[in-house]
Amino acid sequence: MKGIVITQFLEMVEETHGMELADKLLSSNGLSTNGGYTSVGTYPHQDAAILMAAFGKEQKKPASTVLLEYGKFLFGRFVQNYASFFYDGQEMFSFLESVETVIHPQVLKLYPDAQLPKFETEILSDRKLKMIYLSERRMSPFAHGLILGCADYFGIGIGIQERDLDDGKKVEFIITKID
């Protein structure tokens, strides 16, 4: 897993709950490092899972809620840090369709060893998009949070129906624009 996922998570914790909690999480048992992470490093996926589970335990939140909240937070950071992917007149569904065809190929140019989830999209109508999440990591709540963050960025109310198609490895999202 790319270090940016871990470092941004720790920044979220620090911003919302303080440096003390972020430092406490870094002393969690089982981490592959002694709490040292860089945004460009590559680390075992388990490190992110350990940190997020420890945060969930501290906050009395299930892992799925932590992942969803983090996804929403991280989308805002993507807007700040990768402005070239966002432009005036862009539409939410076209942006979501571009994740697999435009954004992920660019990420892989920067980080060839990144292990990204796959997304399949299908426009069902002008108000409905089907998005399939595919990943062995089973982090669909994170993807759900990213979709919510995307809707916030575009100022669109949405409803999301979620259906697990393969024990968390394949999850269908039906995203509906709400007036």
Q: Are residues 100 and 165 in the same domain?
A: yes
Q: Is residue 67 part of a domain?
A: no
Task: Supply the CATH number for residue 134's domain.
Answer: 3.90.1520.10
Q: Is residue 77 part of a domain?
A: no
Domain around 92: 88-178
Phi-psi category of residue 89: left, alpha or beta, with phi > 0 → left and psi -120 to 50 → alpha: left
Phi-psi category of residue 31: left, alpha or beta, with phi > 0 → left and psi -120 to 50 → alpha: beta
Total tally of structural domains belonging to the chain: 2
Residue 161 and residue 113: Cα distance in Å, rounded?
A: 32
Q: Is residue 114 part of a domain?
A: yes
Q: Are residues 166 and 102 in the same domain?
A: yes
Using 50, 70 and 90 to split pLDDT, how confident is the model at 172? very high
Residue 49 and residue 132: Cα distance in Å, rounded?
A: 22
Using 50, 70 and 90 to split pLDDT, how confident is the model at 112? confident
Q: Kindly state the average pLDDT of the residues 152-162.
A: 97
Least confident of 12-21, 34-43, 118-127, 160-169: 34-43
Q: Is residue 71 part of a domain?
A: no
Q: Is residue 7 part of a domain?
A: yes
